[in-house]
Every structure is written in structure tokens, then in C-alpha cells.
Structure 1
Amino acid sequence: MRGPDTYTEGLFTMRRLDDFVPANHPLRRIRVMANEALAEMDSLFSAMYEADIKGGRPSIAPEKLMRAMLLQILFSVRSERQLMEQTRYNMLFRWFIGLAMDDPVWVPTVFTKNRQRLIAHDAVVVFFNEVIRTAHKKHWLSGEHFSVDGTLIQAWAGHKSFVSTAPGKDADKDPNDRSGPGGFKGTTRSNETHSSKTDPDVRLYRKGKTASELRYMGHTLTDNRHGLVVNARVTQADGHAEREAAKVMIHDARQAVGDADVEVTLGADKGYDAAEFIEALQRMKVTPHIAQNKSGRRSAVPDEVAATEGYALSQRKRKLIEQGFGWAKFVGPIRQVMVRGLRKVDQLFVMTMAVYNLVRMRTLGEVRPVAG
């Protein structure tokens, strides 16, 4: 028997938002871990707003703002305007952020302005570190064996914005003409002579068989036990950026270990097999588990290191780092960022890796109980 196509809405409901979220929903565990990290940031949030004594309308609670930023990455929401629109009618979003059914949703420009305050106070970096601290408490990190790699990030700037820095050089060019005297076809462009008008921090770069694009370069250091990202940063794209960023990140990891007698290892692909980089690792008392590059040259990685069982294990574990990059580009916003400037891109990248860690930690919490 066909049911009637009718719609009847009750005047009142006695159910809470929490009642609409399934008990086994994956966001529940993520929200708990995110709230634990945010609770540790209370003093930072207080310092951010204590100087604001002019009164007026209350600003967005930073905890709610951070949870909204997590949702934007988790659900691949492409803009703040779309995020606010979905929050208006999506009960799951309201529950996760901490908004009641009748709470008004923020204006997108207000949301963006408050987010800049978080960036100015490095709140995203602190949140990332608190997530890592949670993983450490649950014994999901080895703290001694790491892998490093980098990935290209397409900038929010087009080739037409990449113009000569010489005075008056491109003043009479038509930016819509790509082939004639107003375009760049048949001309030589380089980072020494040209710069992007849209994003001056970006660099024209190519790697391998890829085409030259305006790009940044993201770098991560992962712990080999479960592939969690323990350090992340963005630099300008050039041929030395990966190794230079790796030195900084593994130095921080080595300092965190403290005990010089504890062996710290670093796995990486063949692109890191350079004598200068291997020597830098050895000075930091880090064993180089770098893939040997013997294509027409001699590898800088000692053969006695490459023959060890730990080296073979690091070579298998280092491939976990690619999962983070894949997730950040397929689910997250890193394939082509929608922000400009090195600082903003760096903050977005770090936040994305923090969310990636939360997703992995949610799974680890289900299949690997906390060690006693």
C-alpha cells in the first residue's frame, strides 16, 4: 500500500543534538581528542583576548573556531562561506562545533577575521603539538625512529601573475594575451627576474617530469611506529628546501630525545642521499637510513649502515609518510591551497596534518588499546 506524501512537523522537540549523532560515529572520538588538546590551550586563548578591552560584541570562542576549522578540513569544505552555510542546517556540524540548535551562525567575514587572530598567535602550531602530546601519552610514538619527505603544493596564483620585477618591464603588456608580446610564450622566466603579483612568496618550480608551476613545498617528519606526523612546515620551493627542512625537523626530534646514547634514525628516499646532508645527520648523532642512490655515483650512506636490519625496516616504514600527503591532497585542501602568503600556507598545512593525525589516532584507539 502506497504511503501518503504528507509532511507534519511538531511544534516542539525534546531531543538534544547529541541524540542525533550515532554512538559509533567516527567524529565522536575525534571530538574527544580535539577537546583534550583545546583544554590544554586555555592559557593561550586567555592571553589572546585579554588585551581586547574595548567591549562590543563578544568574539567567536576560539575553541569553537578551532573545531569549525577541523570540520572544514575533514569534510573538504572549500570556503568559509560554504562552511557557515552548512553549519546553519547541518546538525552534525553544530554538535561538533558546540553550537546549540538555536544559536546563530557567524558571518563568514567575522569567522575569517577571528581566524587571523589564531594565526597571529601560532594557535594552530600549539594545537598540533598538543595532539602529538596526546599520542605520546597513549604510547603511539616510538620517539626514536623517523621518516622525512616533502611534497609540492600548488599556490593560489596563476602564470599571468608571474611578471618581471624590472621597472616598467610589463607595464604595457596585456595580461589576457598568453602568446603575443603581452604573454610569456617564447620568453625566459626565472625566480631571479620575475615575481608573482598575487603571491610574492611563491616560486616557479618543477620537479622530475612535472611542468613548472607556481608552488610551495610542504615537509613532514613522521614517527615510524604508526606513521603519525610529528613535525610539519612549509617553505618556498627550491632544490635544497627538502634537505634543509629535514635538518631542522630532525634536530628538533633529536633534542626532544635528549639522551645522546639513544639511537635516533631517519629514513628518506634517494633525493636525500647527499654527502652534506648525511654528514649533518651524523653530527647530530642521527643514523642515516636514507635510500642509497647509486645511479652513476657513489652513495653517501655507509654500506655498513645499509646492511643492517634496522635500515631495511626504516625503508619499509618510510612509505607511510606518503599516506599523509595523499590524505592532505585528496581530502584536505593541500592540492591547491586557497590562501596566499608563506605564513598562511604554513598554518593551513600544519592544521591539515593535525587533522590527519586525529583521523589516524581515532583508528589506533579502536584497534590498539592504550598500553599500560
Structure 2
Amino acid sequence: MMGPRKEAQAALFYEFSLEEHVPQDHPLRSIDRFVDLSTIRAHLADFYSHTGRPSVDPELLIRMLLVGYCFGIRSERRLCEEVHLNLAYRWFCRLDLTDRIPDHSTFSKNRHGRFRESDLLRHVFETTVARCMAEGLVGGQGFAVDASLVVADVQKQNSSNPEDWEAREIAPADAPRAVREYLDVLDNEAFGAASEVKPKFTAHVDPASQWTAARKGPAFFAYSDNYLIDTDHGIIVDVEASRSVKTAEVGASRRMLDRTSERFGLKPDWVAADTAYGSAENLAWLALDRQILPFIPVFDKSKRQDGTWSRSDFTWDPANDRYLCPEGKELKRTQQYHKDPRNKQPRTGRRKYRASKMVCSFCPAKEKCCPKVDARSVTRERFEEVREFARQCTASEYNPKAQARRKKVEMLFAHLKRILGLGRLRLRGPCGVQDAFTLAATAQNLRKLAKLKPLGPATG
């Protein structure tokens, strides 16, 4: 028999508990155990007035942002709608059924104001890293560093040649926020001073973004998200935004290593990275200045492609400051004479070694060595000893294990883009991009904590 029609009637009183309606196995319950925001009020105390209307609770804003980044809700307008409707989100944000949700514009106001002035998002991130360390998830012996391209929120149609863009007269007060931020970081090695080479296009609304074709496809505007992770459990110990050029990414890795040592006292025994970090200067900085073993392939273009002997086929004799060719003949160091007054400075310690023309002319292996010149010459880089040390590290038995652990940072980037939805930025400018990357790294660490330290079985 068909039952009677159900008529919805509003009750005068309700007995409702958010705690009972949020499932015990909901991910936010595990994440909530590791969110410690007890210090943010003291951190922000100097950035609030002692008079006037009470502001929105900063802890509520941070919790809402964490919800958005943990579950891939990129739009702050949509985030407010989701928190309004979802009971689990309300429970995590400490909101009752009758509490009002802040307006979406509140996030922008605080992000461009007191949050950025106080570096609050960095404070929240470092608090999460400290919790990971307290839970025993950070070993501190081995680190890995890498960078990933994230598409900027600009279009090629809204760009022009750098010379044409710089020629325009724009009053700083009338410029967009992203342009003002770019002008502030022109001397920063992560952005304006990262490279003297000017890109083909400059975006009008976000000039700090880099025009790049690094993905071997159509070029686009992007930023680089730099991660420094502990390889034990893939915890992100530092994060940095930079331009998408190699020099900026290498500089970001150095800043992250120094900052991690300063803030947490973590100094790794070794660091793993790809060839982009294998320049002689960076290897020397790691091995000599910071006493860190570099499991990094050496960036080397000395190998010849025409079948003749490369520099690696020659033997270095440090006692006599010379090279020996495969035939046993010596290559002596040449004297550098600078006849051109514009070229008085030698190239950063690079030395050149050359064989005797008479010896090479009658050598039976001349066609294999130097068929197009009278005598063979070999250059030796300034930090060649450090490069050789790095080659020994990558040839050691531990290198395959270090490279396997390095892949954890690539997995984090895949998780960032596919699960958290940060394949394209919504914020512009160096500061906005840094905020987005910092919040995303915080969310990834919280999700990792919830996964590795799950809730026990419910009791009672």
C-alpha cells in the first residue's frame, strides 16, 4: 500500500549536534588533530587596532583556507558556499548551524593586509612542519629538492615584447597590485635578477611570471613551485616561489636549505636533485660551504658528439698540473694573454691545457683526437675537483637509493596538481603566488600527517 504524502513541517525546536553528524572516519577529523592555531592571535596582535568594530576571527579564516586547499576548492567565493552547506566543513571551522560565513572579500582584504605583513601563512606552515617533526616523520638525514611549473593566471593575448612594455609610462600608484609587487622584487634573485636574458613576452597583468616552453610544447606563462622535502616520509620542510628559470630555482634551493637550518636546526647529510642543480657553483656551495653530499648528476656539456675523444678520456695529473691524453702525451697549461682591452678578466677560473703542435702532428691517433686542428686543447673548470667529487657520489652504491627517494618530491607535485587542483594559479604577483604555494604545502603536510597517523578505533 502506498504510504501517505510526507509534508515538511518546520519544528519550533531542534536538538542537533554537529559532532554526532560528522562521521568518525571523515578525513577532517584526522586533519583536525594536527592543526594548531593557538599562536596566531599572539602572532597577529600588533596588526590589529585596539579600538573599532571586532574583526572576523583569523583562526576561522585560516581554517577555511585549509579546507579549500585540502579539498581542491580553489575559488574563495565557492569556498564560502561549501562551508555554508557542508556540516563537516562547519565542524572543522568551529562554526555552529546559526553562525554566519564570512564574505569572500574578507580573504582578499586580510591576505593583502595583515596576513602578508605578518607573514602569517609562513608561520602556519612552519608550525605544521614542527608538528611533523614532533610526530617523528622528519629524519633530517636526506633531503630532495625540485621545482615544478604552475601555469600563471594570464593569457598570451594580454602580453607584449618586454621593450614595448617597459617603454610605457605607468604611475606606480595606478599600476595593478601584481605589477607593483614585480617592481618591488626587481633586485630579488628569484624574480627580476634571476636572469639577464629577457623573455620573448611579458604579461601586462603579472610581469613576474615567466614565458617558458620548458614542457617541449606550446609556450605559456608560469611560476616555479620549489619544494625541499625530507625523504623519509616525503614531508615538505620548505617551499619557495620563483621564476621558471634554472638560476632562480637553484637560488631558491639554497634559500630553503639555509632557512630550514635556521628555523628547525635541520642540516641534511645529503641532498638529491636532478641535473638542473648540477652546476659547478651549486655543487661547490653544497659540498664546500655547507658540507652536504650532493647526489646530483653533474651538468656537463664537454662530451663530444662527433666520435672524437672527450675531456673525460684525458687523465688529470694534479701533481704536475697537466692532462695526459690516451696516448700518454701531456697537455700543459697555457698562458692567457688579453690583447683585447674589453677582455681583461679571465673566465671565472677556467684553465686551458694544450698539447704541443709537433707532438700532435705525428700522433697516430690524431684523427681520433683532433682531426680539424693542429693541436688538442682541453679546458678545466674552476670547481672541477668538486664536480669530480659529485661524480663519485652519483657512482656510489647509495646513489640509486637516493634517486629513488628523490621521486617522492615528483609525487608531491603530481598530487598538488591532480588532487589539490593547483595546475593553474588563481592569485597573481610574487606575493600571491607565494601565498598559494605555502598554503598548498601546508595542506599536503596535514594530509600526510592524517594518513601516516590515523585515528584509532572509536571507543564507547
Q: TM-score, normalised by structure 2?
A: 0.69
2:241 corresponding residue in structure 1: 234
Q: Does residue 352 of structure 1 match 2:357?
A: no
The partner residue of 2:198 within 183, 191, 216 is 191
More displaced stretch, 97-106 vs 86-95: 86-95
1:295 and 1:208 map into 2 onto residues whose CA distance is 21
Residues 325-359 of structure 1, C-alpha deviation per residue, up to 9 Å, x if partnerless?
11211122421101110111011101101100100
The partner residue of 2:153 within 138, 141, 156 is 156
Residues 171-227 of structure 1, C-alpha deviation per residue, up to 9 Å, x if partnerless?
9xxxxxxxxxxxxxxxxxx83574211112112112151332111111000001101
1:66 corresponding residue in structure 2: 62
Going from structure 1 to structure 2, the CA distance change for 1:169 and 1:83 (only over 3 Å counts) comes to closer
Going from structure 1 to structure 2, the CA distance change for 1:257 and 1:14 (only over 3 Å counts) comes to closer
Say whether the 8 Å CA contact 1:65–1:115 is kept in structure 2: no
1:124 and 1:102 map into 2 onto residues whose CA distance is 28
For structure 2, the residue ranges without an aligned partner over 5 or more in a row are 169-196, 304-311, 313-386
Aligned residue runs from structure 1 range 193-342, under 5 A: 194-255=201-262, 264-282=269-287, 283-291=289-297, 297=303, 302-342=390-430
Q: Secondary structure at the match of 2:416?
A: helix
2:4 and 2:276 map into 1 onto residues whose CA distance is 66
Q: Secondary structure at the match of 1:366?
A: coil
Q: Does residue 95 of structure 1 match 2:91?
A: yes
Give the letter for the 2:154 counterpart: A
Going from structure 1 to structure 2, the CA distance change for 1:270 and 1:5 (only over 3 Å counts) comes to farther
Give the letter for the 2:97 counterpart: M
2:188 corresponding residue in structure 1: none
Q: CA deviation at 1:324?
A: 1.4
Going from structure 1 to structure 2, the CA distance change for 1:219 and 1:252 (only over 3 Å counts) comes to same
Going from structure 1 to structure 2, the CA distance change for 1:169 and 1:139 (only over 3 Å counts) comes to closer
2:358 corresponding residue in structure 1: none
The partner residue of 2:103 within 84, 100, 107 is 107
Q: CA deviation at 1:85?
A: 1.5
Going from structure 1 to structure 2, the CA distance change for 1:231 and 1:6 (only over 3 Å counts) comes to same
1:29 corresponding residue in structure 2: 30
Q: Does residue 142 of structure 1 match 2:162?
A: no
2:379 corresponding residue in structure 1: none
More displaced stretch, 204-213 vs 279-288: 204-213
Give the letter for the 2:443 counterpart: V
Going from structure 1 to structure 2, the CA distance change for 1:341 and 1:333 (only over 3 Å counts) comes to farther
Going from structure 1 to structure 2, the CA distance change for 1:9 and 1:31 (only over 3 Å counts) comes to farther
Say whether the 8 Å CA contact 1:151–1:218 is kept in structure 2: yes
2:3 and 2:259 map into 1 onto residues whose CA distance is 65
Q: CA deviation at 1:93?
A: 1.5
1:312 and 1:71 map into 2 onto residues whose CA distance is 37
Q: Secondary structure at the match of 1:302?
A: helix
Going from structure 1 to structure 2, the CA distance change for 1:159 and 1:167 (only over 3 Å counts) comes to closer
Say whether the 8 Å CA contact 1:157–1:198 is kept in structure 2: yes
Aligned residue runs from structure 1 range 52-63, under 5 A: 52-56=49-53, 58-63=54-59
Q: How many residues align?
A: 343
Give the letter for the 1:8 counterpart: A
Give the letter for the 1:151 counterpart: S
Q: Does residue 132 of structure 1 match 2:129?
A: yes
Q: Secondary structure at the match of 2:34?
A: helix
Say whether the 8 Å CA contact 1:232–1:349 is kept in structure 2: yes
2:449 and 2:437 map into 1 onto residues whose CA distance is 18
Say whether the 8 Å CA contact 2:209–2:221 is kept in structure 1: yes
Say whether the 8 Å CA contact 1:267–1:291 is kept in structure 2: no
1:40 corresponding residue in structure 2: 39
RMSD: 2.7
1:144 and 1:289 map into 2 onto residues whose CA distance is 13
1:118 corresponding residue in structure 2: 115
More displaced stretch, 158-167 vs 71-80: 158-167
Say whether the 8 Å CA contact 1:59–1:114 is kept in structure 2: no
Q: CA deviation at 1:86?
A: 1.8
Q: CA deviation at 1:4?
A: 5.5
More displaced stretch, 25-34 vs 224-233: 25-34
Q: Secondary structure at the match of 2:276?
A: helix
2:164 and 2:301 map into 1 onto residues whose CA distance is 45
Q: CA deviation at 1:164?
A: 3.0
1:367 and 1:223 map into 2 onto residues whose CA distance is 24
Q: Percent identity?
A: 25
Going from structure 1 to structure 2, the CA distance change for 1:7 and 1:97 (only over 3 Å counts) comes to farther
Q: CA deviation at 1:239?
A: 2.8
Going from structure 1 to structure 2, the CA distance change for 1:79 and 1:263 (only over 3 Å counts) comes to closer
For structure 1, the residue ranges without an aligned partner over 5 or more in a row are 172-189
2:298 and 2:4 map into 1 onto residues whose CA distance is 71
